[in-house]
Structure 1
């Protein structure tokens, strides 16, 4: 679980850096430039450390560079604010693959109720799309404080809540199924 949070922080580091610098300085050029440089430095650092980088890392870098360039060209921070929503859409598309979630649950869950795990995977994909649309709607307002609230509290809270509900629901379903098998 620690690795998952570290990876998420790494993926959204450029957005966090951008937001922090922009809120402190109110300078979109500076904030965007530092976010782009930070994203490039992250990839270079990972390569120097010998880490294998996946497609999503390079896609994230490309998004930061492209959206950052558009932000610099237009002097409009909304393009940088759209980056996390695009990432959520990409993750949502990946989550549409049937059974993707089976490798992330305990073996007893995957063996006992694979159909529920597959359904949960589709619900996670839907959640990613809803969060992505919400991020674009909030980013389009240009209100950085509202966007920060949305991305950290609303989107983060929705994921934590979904994880908790999924955990409890799958636990209850597995327990019920195992009791039914034991009785039979």
Structure 2
């Protein structure tokens, strides 16, 4: 679980930096510049530490630099605010791969209810798309406080709630099937 939150924090680092600097200074140019510099520094730091970087890391960097550049040219924060939604769409697309979630499940779940894990994987993909659409709609308002609330409370809370529901449901189904198998 700790790895999941660390990865999420890493993926949203530039958005968080942008938000913090913008809220502290009310300066779009400064916030965007610091977010771009932070994203570049994050990749350089990972390379120096010898960490394996995947294409999503480079895609995220390209989005920050590209959307940040547009934000700098237009002085409009909505472009930077759209970056997390694009990331959610990309993650959702990856989650459409059948069975992607099986490798993250304990063996007892994989052996007992693989079809439910596959269904849960598709549900996670749908959640990522819904969050992405919501984030674009919120970003289009240009209301940074509403966007910050959506990014942290709504999107973050939806993922935590989905994880909890998935855990409870899979646990109940596995327990039920194991009991039925023991009786048989």
Tell me the TM-score normalised to structure 2 length: 0.99
When structure 1 is superposed on structure 2, of 44-53 and 79-88 the one drifting more is: 44-53
Where in structure 2 are the equivalents of 1:16-55 lying within 5 Å? Answer: 16-55=16-55
**Unaligned segments of structure 2, at least 5 residues:** none
Structural RMSD (CA) = 0.6
Distance in 2 separating the partners of 1:112 and 1:169? 13
Would you say 1:112 and 2:112 are equivalent positions? yes
SS at match of 2:97: coil
Distance in 1 separating the partners of 2:66 and 2:91? 19
Would you say 1:174 and 2:174 are equivalent positions? yes
**Unaligned segments of structure 1, at least 5 residues:** none
Distance in 2 separating the partners of 1:51 and 1:93? 24
Aligned residues: 184
SS at match of 1:82: helix
Summarize deviations over 1:26-46 as a string: whole Å, max 9, x none.
110000000000000010111
Summarize deviations over 1:142-177 as a string: whole Å, max 9, x none.
000000000100110000000000000000000001
Distance in 1 separating the partners of 2:4 and 2:32? 26
Tell me the TM-score normalised to structure 1 length: 0.99
Distance in 2 separating the partners of 1:52 and 1:150? 31
